[in-house]
Amino acid sequence: MDGINVQWNKSIAAFEGTPSGVKVVFEDGTNTEGRLLVGADGSTSKVRRILCPETGFLYQLPIRFLGATVRLTPAEMAPLRALDPLLFQGCHPETSTYLWFATLDTPEVNGSRGDSEYYSAQLNISWPVKSPADEVPATNVEKLQKMKDLADVFEPRLKKAVQNIPEGTEIVEIKLADWPCLKWPFDGKATLLGDAAHAMTMCECDCSQVRLGPLLISVPDRGEAANHGITDARLLHDQLVEVSLGNISQLNAIEKYETEMRDRTSWAVLMSRQACLDAHDFKNLNKESAILARRTRQN
């Protein structure tokens, strides 16, 4: 942020084209003008929803997700670390319920070495929606019970880990949703970047994990979102440099950026969606499934 006049606590309300660029109006009544509006405001992008009032909302996958952060004693942690000292995940072959376990910290890291040692870990469960009974319950108590019910058929060590989550533990629901870079009105004065342009289901790739409160979000898909966001930023930068040098008009520059970005990411979003669905369909999971397929598109 060095050298950038960041304006905090601003929420966009509307924008419109002007002869020289674009005017943005904020919810606090203030406004500003510039040559280009770049919506880089995340998967629930307000800029995208203004650009696409009918098609800019996220598509929710028919998968539901609950998770918790728990403290475990060394004795409770030992059978889980015996499976893997860091993390493991998998789909139950009969119910297609997906379990993700990950160590968040150890006594050495959290400073609990001694008589009161503990580990912090995450336990996440996701499952396909096949009937109204599969929807996420309303209360925290019911959400915890839902996780325990789903784990009832797990292998004994995994079942015990979920069944032993203490009552009162905060259970977080994450809505798995995406947006496959549909077209928006084009005038070369407003564009989208990153998750605002191509929201993907969250992933278990370590470069894309994000913390939300006490929970580290991780879901089984292809782990591409951060890479595409970085690529977007570089390509948009390169096009704007050409504009500043007078080698191309802003209209053509944004058109080139959007064409490449949309071709690259529309496919990736749908593959990520399919990977999430494949991970919850054990009987049809194979080497051709999207969760295992190549990460680049062959033209």
pLDDT in tens, 84-111: 999 999 899 999 999 999 999 999 999 9
98 assigned to active site = yes
Same domain, 129 and 86: yes
Which pLDDT does position 217 carry in this prediction?
38
The answer to whether residues 55 and 180 belong to one domain is yes
pLDDT of residue 215: 38
* Segments forming the whole domain that contains residue 110: 62-173
pLDDT at position 223 is 62
pLDDT band of residue 208 (cuts 50, 70, 90) is very low
The H-or-E segment that residue 120 falls in is strand 119-128
Domain shared by 54 and 182, yes or no? yes
Does one domain contain both 200 and 130? no
195 in the same domain as 221: yes
Answer yes or no: do 68 and 155 share one domain.
yes
The answer to whether residue 46 is domain-embedded is: yes
Q: What is the pLDDT of residues 171-200, one digit of tens each?
A: 999 999 999 999 999 999 999 999 999 999
| Residue 218 banded pLDDT, cuts 50, 70, 90 | very low
- For the residues 243-268, what does the mean pLDDT come to? 96
Q: Clarify whether residues 161 and 120 are in a common domain.
A: yes
Question: For residue 265, is it within any domain?
Answer: yes
Q: Are residues 71 and 115 in the same domain?
A: yes
Inside any domain, residue 19: no
Do 140 and 280 belong together in one domain? no
Average pLDDT, the chain: 89
* 297 band by pLDDT with thresholds 50, 70 and 90: low
Cα three-residue angle 99-105-108, rounded to 5 degrees: 150
Instruction: For residue 187, tell me if it sits in a domain.
Output: yes
Model confidence over 37-89: pLDDT tens digits?
Answer: 999 999 999 999 999 999 999 999 999 999 999 999 999 999 999 999 999 99
Residue 27 lies in a domain: no
pLDDT at 275: 87
Please indicate, yes or no, if residue 296 is contained in any of the structural domains. Answer: no
Write down the catalytic residue from 59, 98, 118, 119: 98
Q: What is the CA radius of gyration of the chain?
A: 22
Q: Are residues 206 and 238 in the same domain?
A: yes
Residue 51 to residues 26, 54, 72, 90, 125, Cα–Cα distance (Å): 15, 9, 47, 39, 35
Question: Buried b / exposed e across 107-133, counting CB within 10 Å, b at 16+?
Answer: beeeebeeeebbbbbbbbbbbbeeeee
Q: Minimum mean pLDDT among 145-154, 246-255, 270-279, 288-297: which range? A: 288-297
- Asked whether residue 28 carries a pLDDT value surpassing 90, the answer given is yes
How many structural domains are present in the chain?
Answer: 2
Neighbours of 202 (CB within 10 A): 26
- Is 47 contained in some domain? yes
Contact 264, 258 (CB under 8 A): no
